[in-house]
A = this chain, B = another copy of it.
């Protein structure tokens, strides 16, 4: 039978190369300033290939947002700290890792969907929605450890796990903006350091 064959298991085709190129170019230039021709050139394929795989530039954006989510997943599984027993230590380990990632040129560590959402939130609902879903997925993954940390250690002022996770995401997105504007990744890391101190403060670490 095999009525619905599984989709070709992530071979390195023009499709994935186009998405990778979009991740790179959009983070560097923004969505609107990035042309289809540029993406094709960076991917080493022609326009025919582009429009064979994606009906429009917008559809590539949506696909690239979904792929961005998949690309972030390993952050919650692979690093060493993810196997720590205390969920609060896992959370702080995650923040330390995000801080360490903020280095080198901004296009290397900034967020594809955050950049795209900013340009399209009012003019292209499909792209805003796709970006929003990717950010939401990150926050939901992070909130799991936050909730576990609350269960273990307790937290001040009845703060919710979701709220903390979204705040982490907010500080990261803000740090990316500041890194881009100032040209100084250290300014961005400094804010993540403030975020870490805040997390330590709201959990009752002593208990």
Contact = CB atoms under 8 A, between A and B. Distances in A.
A180 B117 contact: yes
A138 B58 CA distance: 36
Nearest to A114: B177
Contacts of A163: 190, 194
A173 B114 CA distance: 11
Interface in A86-118: 105-107, 113-115, 117-118
Contact of A174 (B107, B117, B128, B172): B172
A169 B123 CA distance: 26
A83 interface: no
Q: How many copies does the complex hold?
A: 2
A135 interface: yes
A136 B193 CA distance: 20
Contacts of A117: 177, 180-181
Contacts of A136: 182
Nearest to A164: B194
Interface of A: 28-33, 105-107, 113-115, 117-123, 128, 131-132, 135-136, 157, 159, 163-164, 166-167, 169-178, 180-183, 187-188, 190-191, 194, 197-198, 201-202
